[in-house]
A = this chain, B = another copy of it.
Amino acid sequence: MKRGIGSHQIGDPFEGFVLIKEASRGVTSTGKPFLTLILRDATGEIEAKLWDVTKEDEEVFVAEQIIRITGEINQFRGKPQMKITSIRPSQPTDGVHVSDFIEKAPVEREVLMEKLTEAIFEMKNPILQRIVRAFIKKYQEPLLTYPAASKNHHEYVSGLAHHIVSMIALAKEIHKLYPQVNKDLLYAGIILHDLGKLKELSGVVSTSYTMEGKLLGHIPMMVEEIGHMAKELQIEGEEVLILQHLVLSHHGIKEWGSPTPPLVREAELLHFIDLIDAKMNMLNRALDKVKPGEFTERLFAMDNRSFYKPSFEEEN
């Protein structure tokens, strides 16, 4: 499995292990059942058709099953489609695991945790530090596993922690340039701003929204949870309210989900740092896939723009 699905080209043969992400049954015009499979590995995903399936096939080739296939990559209605020529479920002796087929952050979780700990250690305001520390303790495991979003940016294992750690690096430098900025407050806002996603999203493998996530959303949930945490820790002080404000306002405007816009300097900055890191993550990954002189695919979360990689950039 040297070259992954994400680097396929029309006409390429394919041989290797992949994970079934979704499987659904159809019937052809001549009445024969077939399966439509969405296959994925750590580099991307592709649709495949499995024709003339038996009852057993339908029971074996289901979501979250790892399979070994050989086939060829064709095009159907302008999109790539895998034509399967042979298929079998993986066996214990194959030595493959679900986690092998899911994209991960480019930084190890131990490193991410270390950087988070460092940032908290730098904080001097005891109220902010205590709250942040308590949250990290409470959510350490999911925080190091969850993606930052169900799609678009940092949508991979440890994506949320990766996003937070990148934002902290940005904040650190920006604080040096504008020393009036309260670094502790900004750090606390960055670390907590998206923790509500741990309840809003279902997990890492096939990320969807929870019922709670749909009815409340990660922003109000996290505002509430900061309140609970402060009560639990018997912490009082304007810091709690200001921290809630940072979380509440970090989407910037009402239309994007913040009922109150940023009204504190660090809230304004948090909004911009979040935007920049999310956009750079999307942009860099899309530009990595094209050569100098080419345009990327359209990026839905960036107003559907297609970006150009100047021909004077070096190949990567």
Contact = CB atoms under 8 A, between A and B. Distances in A.
Q: How many copies does the complex hold?
A: 6
Contacts of A98: none
A242 B311 CA distance: 10
Given A29-B51, A216-B248, 4 more contacts: A31-B51, A178-B280, A180-B287, A223-B223
A87 interface: no
B284 A276 contact: no
A295 B166 CA distance: 31
A260 interface: yes
A312 interface: yes
B268 A279 contact: yes
Interface string A225-250: 00110010000011101101100100
A34 interface: yes
A70 B91 CA distance: 42
A224 B259 CA distance: 14
A110 interface: no
List the 9 closest pairs (A to B, CB-CB), nearest first.
A173-B173, A215-B245, A224-B224, A224-B227, A257-B259, A27-B74, A254-B254, A178-B280, A242-B310
Nearest to A249: B215
Contacts of A107: none
B170 A263 contact: no
A128 to B, nearest CB: 9
Interface of A: 24-31, 34, 49, 51, 74-78, 81, 83, 125, 166, 169-170, 173-174, 176-178, 180, 182, 185, 211-212, 214-217, 219-220, 223-224, 227-228, 231, 237-239, 241-242, 244-245, 248, 254-265, 268-269, 272, 275-276, 279-280, 283-284, 287-288, 295, 302-303, 305-313, 316
A261 B219 contact: no
Nearest to A273: B276
Contact of A215 (B217, B256, B263): B263
A313 B29 contact: no
Contacts of A24: 75, 78
Contacts of A25: 74-75
